[in-house]
Amino acid sequence: MSVKVACHCGAFKHDLEITTDIPHEDTFCCCDSCRRRTGQLGLFPFPASASDSELVTKSSLKRYDTQPGTGNTVSSFYCGQCGSKVFIQTVGPDQEFKGGGWMLGCFDKMELNDKCLIDIHGFSFADETIDGGAAAFWTQVNGKPLKSYVGCEAEWKAPAEAGRDDSEYLNLHCRCGGFDVHVSRPNPELPLPKPCWWYLPPKTEAGIPQRYMASWCACKDCRGATGSCLPAHPWVQIPFVDIHTATSKDAPLLPAETKMTTKTDLPGCTRYESSKGIARYFCSTCGATVLYFDADRDFIGAWAVGLIDSKEGSLAPSWLFWWTGRDGHPNPPIHCKETGDAFWGKGIMSDFESGWIEWGKKVGQRT
Ligand SMILES: [Zn+2]
Ligand SMILES: [Zn+2]
Ligand SMILES: [Zn+2]
Ligand SMILES: [Zn+2]
């Protein structure tokens, strides 16, 4: 019994023999480190063996090491061409393998012999998200409630109203800091094309946009190019004119005269053209997913929400207006949900979506 593990561009391919019991029971890790190393809101690795670790260590995948202070080294492995996060492991001070796992988004399937590969229990380190992140809305799978934990053990409840931070700038950065920017409030003077439901956040009475639209994509390319372990990838639409360097909040990340194309390089990032007219960017050092760029909308990019570092929490509700669908609207709450159904299985994907719709109603982002 095996699954195929591959990055999006195919530079890394491996037939993984499944020898552990399935479904594998675990929680999504929502810690700051996992979010900022992926651009996602959580990480769920499928268990790996010491020989898997050996294989990955010898492969052409790029490696990013962190020392969490316990004497161990956590290494994240990603494809240097396409940015897929493929593998993560912990080794001890003497380089002994202590545990690791494969990223679910690189698998070709999630079921073997009619059994799902994973059994999701909930969310660990949910406290680090401040607002719960994915745990705030994804509350059950197939009737089983998902729990949130402080660290890995004690139960945690997100505060009813997460702290508000009215700061003028929103910080986005990856795990290593190689990509680090500040976002200003939306610029009212934009050449908005029509239709643009993805850039119709609430406006002030003067017609000035207040927040950036964020949404989830469950397509195969988003999953493969990121290695995403959640059923969909979160993106927020922010025009390039609103992105500033971390060192000077007055300095735009891209000089004003720059016309963004799929050939434009971004500081600290590697560019990958995942299909015609689409460029994806990831941190050249830690591999974090940074940007999805569509040449047809050359003034705006879709930025990975996991990079957000806000005191109000990982969903940053005063900055982000989350698309949770509208009754009768042609654009569903989760983009490409059918693709997600086919991969994750209807139970997982549909519970994710219905939790999302409920959350939208609860926080007033769906009317
Ligand atoms: Zn690749
Ligand atoms: Zn983590
Ligand atoms: Zn997508
Ligand atoms: Zn980085």
Ligand nearest to the CA of 36: 4
Average pLDDT, rounded, for the chain: 92
Give me ligand 3 centre to Cα 222, in Å. 4
Which residues are within 8 A (CB) of 269 and not within 5 positions of it... i.e. 6 or more apart? 178, 179, 281, 282, 283, 284, 290, 291
Q: Which element (helix H / strand E) includes 348? A: helix 346-362
Strand 24-29 with 85-91, pairing: unpaired
Give me ligand 1 centre to Cα 264, in Å. 20
For the stretch 174-217, pLDDT in tens is 999 999 999 998 887 776 766 677 776 677 777 767 889 999 99
Is residue 224 predicted with pLDDT exceeding 70? yes
For the four alpha carbons of 231, 236, 237 and 240, in that order, the dihedral sign comes to negative
Give me ligand 1 centre to Cα 139, in Å. 33
For the stretch 307-361, pLDDT in tens is 999 999 999 988 999 999 988 888 899 999 999 999 999 899 999 999 999 999 9
* Separation CA 289–CA 132 (nearest Å): 21
* Separation CA 313–CA 128 (nearest Å): 9
Ligand nearest to the CA of 175: 4
Structural domains of the chain sorted by starting position, each given as residue range(s) with its CATH number in brackets: 2-155 (2.170.150.70), 170-362 (2.170.150.70)
Axis crossing angle, helix 346-362 with helix 337-344, rounded to the nearest 10: 130
Is residue 127 predicted with pLDDT exceeding 90? yes
Give me ligand 1 centre to Cα 80, in Å. 7
- What would the two tokens of residue 101 be? 């796992």
- What would the two tokens of residue 221 be? 């390319």
Q: What is the pLDDT of residue 187?
A: 80
Give me ligand 3 centre to Cα 359, in Å. 22
Give me ligand 1 centre to Cα 126, in Å. 30
Give me ligand 3 centre to Cα 232, in Å. 8
Ligand nearest to the CA of 336: 3
Is the pLDDT higher at 73 or at 255? Answer: 73
Q: What percent of the chain has pLDDT above 90?
A: 77
Strand 97-103 with 111-112, pairing: unpaired
* Separation CA 75–CA 95 (nearest Å): 11
Q: What is the pLDDT of residue 162?
A: 61
Largest Cα separation within the chain, whole Å, is: 62
Residue 124, sorted as left (phi over 0), alpha (psi -120 to 50) or beta, turns out to be beta
- Rounded to the nearest 5°, which phi and psi values hold at 124? -100, 155
- What would the two tokens of residue 341 be? 């159904």
Give me ligand 2 centre to Cα 333, in Å. 27
Which residues are within 8 A (CB) of 271 and not within 5 positions of it... i.e. 6 or more apart? 262, 263, 264, 265, 279, 280, 281
Give me ligand 1 centre to Cα 59, in Å. 12
Q: What is the pLDDT of residue 364?
A: 78
Give me ligand 2 centre to Cα 34, in Å. 4
pLDDT-derived band at 248 (thresholds 50, 70, 90) equals confident
Quick one: 205 exposed, middle or buried, by C-beta within 10 A (0-12, 13-18, 19+)? exposed
Give me ligand 2 centre to Cα 360, in Å. 26
Give me ligand 3 centre to Cα 318, in Å. 24
Asked whether 198 and 219 are in contact (CB, 8 A), the reply is no
Q: What is the pLDDT of residue 356?
A: 97
* Separation CA 361–CA 364 (nearest Å): 5
* Separation CA 134–CA 122 (nearest Å): 10
- Pick the most confident of 67-71, 225-229, 312-316: 225-229
Ligand nearest to the CA of 39: 4
Give me ligand 2 centre to Cα 199, in Å. 31
In the structure, ligand 2 is a single-atom ion and the residues with CB under 5 Å from it are: 29, 31, 34
Which residues are within 8 A (CB) of 253 and not within 5 positions of it... i.e. 6 or more apart? 181, 240, 243, 244, 245, 266, 267
Give me ligand 1 centre to Cα 141, in Å. 31
Ligand nearest to the CA of 281: 4
Return the bridge partners of 97, or none: 91
Asked whether 246 and 173 are in contact (CB, 8 A), the reply is yes
